[in-house]
Amino acid sequence: MTNRKHAVQVFSDSAYIVNCFQQKWYVGWLKRNWQNSKKQPVENRDLWEAILNLVKLHPSVSFYKVKGHLNIDDEAAIKKWHAKFKADYNIDMPYDVYKTAVAYNNRADALANVGIEQLKENDNE
C-alpha cells in the first residue's frame, strides 16, 4: 500500500471491520482513548492502530462486506450474492471482480485459520 494515487477497496466478510470504517467507530474509540461505546478497552488495539495508519496513507479507501465462506464453484450462490452486493452498495461491480474478491476473502480466512492453529500449537508446547 505505498502508491497513494490509487483508490483502495477492501472486501471482507467481517462486519466488525467493515462497520468500523463505514460507520467510523474508530473516531469514537480515539476520542475515548481506545474505549468502545461500552467503556471497555477496544480489543486488538495494536492491529486497529496498524490498519488506521495504513488507511491514513491513502486519499480513498472503501470497505465492503462480502458473503463469507461461499463455495467459489457454486455459480448460483455467487450470482445471488453478487446481485445482493450490487444492490446493497448501489455499485455496478462486474461479476468476475466480485467472484475474485470472494475468492481472496476465502483465502484470507484460510490463512488466518492456519495462523490461529499454529498459535494454539505453540501455546501447547
- The pLDDT of residue 38 is 95
Q: End of a domain among 46, 65, 84?
A: 65
| In a shared domain, residues 19 and 58 | yes
| In a shared domain, residues 79 and 104 | yes
- The pLDDT of residue 115 is 85
**Residue 112, Cβ neighbours under 10 Å: how many?**
10
Number of domains within the chain: 2
Let me know if residue 98 belongs to a domain. yes
Let me know if residue 112 belongs to a domain. yes
pTM for this predicted structure: 0.82
User: Which segments in the chain show pLDDT lower than 70?
Assistant: 1-4
| In a shared domain, residues 81 and 55 | no
| In a shared domain, residues 53 and 98 | no
- The pLDDT of residue 101 is 96
- The pLDDT of residue 58 is 87
| In a shared domain, residues 56 and 76 | no
Domain that holds residue 88: 72-125
Let me know if residue 2 belongs to a domain. no
Minimal CA–CA distance to 13: which of 74, 65, 83, 49?
Answer: 65
